[in-house]
Amino acid sequence: MPIDLNVKIPGLEKLDDFEDMAGKLGITGIAPSTKLDKPVVVSKKGLVLYARADLKSKRIGSLRKELGLLRRHAVIVAFPLAGVETSNWAAGDRRVDLLTLGENNIGNTLKDSTAHMAEHSGTALEIQFAVILRSTGLNRSRALKSFRESTRTALDAGMKIVLSSGASHPINMRSPMAMTYIGFMLGMNRVDSRETVFNTPQWIIERNERKLSSEFVGPGVEIVKRGGQS
């Protein structure tokens, strides 16, 4: 089940176009940054929409508060890679799903220490490839440098990687098979590339749906039977 974990739908009135394109490309779910009524919504055309929240605060204290408010309302919580201190905090917090690298933080790269912390907490590196579709020449080269270096660091540390489109227009979305070839271009092998497109997004979604269910208490602790039930 290929899922695009970052689609920047300008407004819900444009959702139809994205649904049509996702259907053509064989994508079964998307995580739009637009606010949704519920964490998981199934559209009329059968596309599954997962609520996504991007942390915007700059300091750890305010990030903690923001995360506390958002976590129960979103299936995906992402933090854009920034300074070492905040990135390390996000990498070490199990409630953060993705460390994002996209057009707004192209100068940043993933540090070794951050990648190792993220590997322990199950946080994945998200690469939004819209920026390399839009740019050309030296700007694209800079973006590719940042993406390829971070990909190498993440793979060396055993950190999971997710490829997402970051598309603000339906035509900027790419099919799952096309995304695997973008993975090759970023330095992944066939197995890793397929993993980033087909398995890791699904794994994160399933993990978080379990966490959002009423039976979940904490990591490794779930209510399997309530008192009075046989």
Residues near other proteins (CB under 8 A) are 21, 24-25, 132-134, 136-137, 169-175, 177-178, 181-182, 184-185
- Nearest distance, CB of residue 111 and other proteins, angstroms: 27
Residues ≥6 apart with Cβ < 8 Å to 46? 23
- Nearest distance, CB of residue 144 and other proteins, angstroms: 9
**Contact (Cβ atoms closer than 8 angstroms) between residue 154 and residue 193:** no
- Nearest distance, CB of residue 177 and other proteins, angstroms: 5
- Nearest distance, CB of residue 40 and other proteins, angstroms: 26
Closest to other proteins by CB, 20 vs 156, is 20
DSSP state of 108: -
Q: Is 123 helix (H, G, I), strand (E, B) or coil?
A: coil
**Contact (Cβ atoms closer than 8 angstroms) between residue 39 and residue 73:** yes
Percent helix, strand, coil in the chain, to 5, is: 50, 20, 35
- Nearest distance, CB of residue 181 and other proteins, angstroms: 4
Closest to other proteins by CB, 48 vs 130, is 130
The owner of tokens 């779930």 is 222
- Nearest distance, CB of residue 170 and other proteins, angstroms: 8
Sheet containing 48-50: give its strands across: 3-7, 29-32, 48-50, 40-42
Closest to other proteins by CB, 123 vs 180, is 180
Closest to other proteins by CB, 154 vs 182, is 182
Closest to other proteins by CB, 52 vs 174, is 174
Q: Which amino acid, residue 138?
A: L
Distance CA 48, CA 69 (A): 23
**Contact (Cβ atoms closer than 8 angstroms) between residue 88 and residue 113:** yes
The pairs formed by 219-222 with CB atoms below 8 angstroms and a separation of 24 or more are 219/94
Closest to other proteins by CB, 189 vs 213, is 189
